[in-house]
A and B are shown apart, each in its own frame.
Chain A
């Protein structure tokens, strides 16, 4: 089974920061033996995941401002098998579209009750679940009147270092998709859709939080390809 490469090209001129950072040579594809260091399961041992790390609304004395949401789904491999016990890290802007990061100068208020960083491990069925607030859209200086669609950054480990993935999850129907060179950097529309979560009434908790569902599908490891 041959799948087309779903990932963006390094050189994506609409995203100006790629111009001096995209490698000019195509990557080298070495033959790997099964003992190759890249096939190791990353041992992420420094910081144990705390019981409230998955809940970005409970990290401070008060509750953050914004629309409370639940984001849940499964981490799967390219054959659709669950990836259990793998680390996910998420980070995001607050409800006003401002990151708790000194470089972010967007003149929108910081929220003293929101940092915007969470972690969790997938369960035996590959499921994860975060509670957070819906991030706001925010401007950036890539081109005149440039705005990023609302998104949550996801970092996923998988079972081999070659599966390592950092990506962004978006929200359904965002009017900014058409104008965003980062979202549009994914060549195929069907692959872009993989980045968009689905509203799910079954995940939604009555009188408390809206629910979104989003699955993450990691790449094959070299010795699994058929």
Chain B
């Protein structure tokens, strides 16, 4: 059967989809708790302030909308490998998929151009905190995946 096509999430989802616990994927005292935060930027380097980000890990799901400065923040569990990150926004007619790796020594998919690998690696900011910015377009464009 042919699939139902994707359409943009649009600018008016924030009264509906986000919820307070969405970014708080694990409790603060979880033994493997990490904080993952960053900004979402467009092709002009401007913040994307109306996006919805989702992550999925074994037994866990997180959702966070970006703020006026394009920022997001999850409290989640240190992944075994990487954290899949899915991004919806006004102007994205279909979502983009990326992956958050916490180390540059990770086993990246062979299909990823080595020159662009660094866009998939979060920068540590202390023992339990990582920064991962996403650039939708242009210089330093994040690697996006399709499945």
Contacts and interface: CB of A to CB of B under 8 A. Distances in A.
Interface of A: 3, 6-10, 12, 15, 17-25, 27-32, 37-38, 40, 42-47, 76, 78-80, 89, 91, 93, 99-101, 103-104, 115-117, 153, 155, 161-162, 164-168, 182-183, 185-186, 190-192, 194-195, 215-219, 222
Given A20-B42, A38-B84, A153-B10, A164 B95 contact: yes
Give the secondary structure class of B's interface. Answer: loop
A191 B56 contact: no
Given A29-B111, A38-B84, A192 B91 contact: no
A17 B42 CA distance: 10
A103 to B, nearest CB: 6
A23 B135 CA distance: 9
Given A23-B136, A79-B1, A12 B145 contact: no
A22 B144 CA distance: 11
A167 B12 contact: no
Given A32-B147, A166-B6, 4 more contacts: A25-B141, A47-B21, A165-B6, A182-B93
Contact of A40 (B15, B46, B56, B116): B56
B147 A222 contact: yes
Interface stretch (B28-36, B58-66, B124-132): B58-66
Contacts of B54: 42, 164
Interface of B: 1-17, 19, 21-22, 42-44, 46, 48, 50, 54, 56-61, 79, 81-84, 86, 88-97, 109-112, 116, 136-138, 141-147
B61 A27 contact: no
Contact of B4 (A40, A116, A218): A218
22 contacts: A6-B2, A6-B3, A7-B6, A19-B91, A20-B43, A20-B137, A25-B143, A28-B111, A28-B143, A30-B109, A30-B111, A31-B109, A42-B54, A42-B61, A43-B60, A46-B61, A47-B19, A78-B1, A101-B14, A165-B6, A167-B7, A195-B4
Contacts of A8: 5-7, 93-94
Given A3-B2, A42-B61, A91-B13, A24 B94 contact: no
Nearest to A222: B147
Contact of B3 (A27, A99, A185, A218): A218
Contacts of B61: 42-46
B92 A161 contact: no
Contacts of A80: 1
A30 B136 CA distance: 19
A21 B42 contact: yes
Contacts of B5: 6-8, 167, 186, 191-192, 194-195
A87 to B, nearest CB: 10
Contacts of B111: 28-31
Contacts of B86: 161, 164
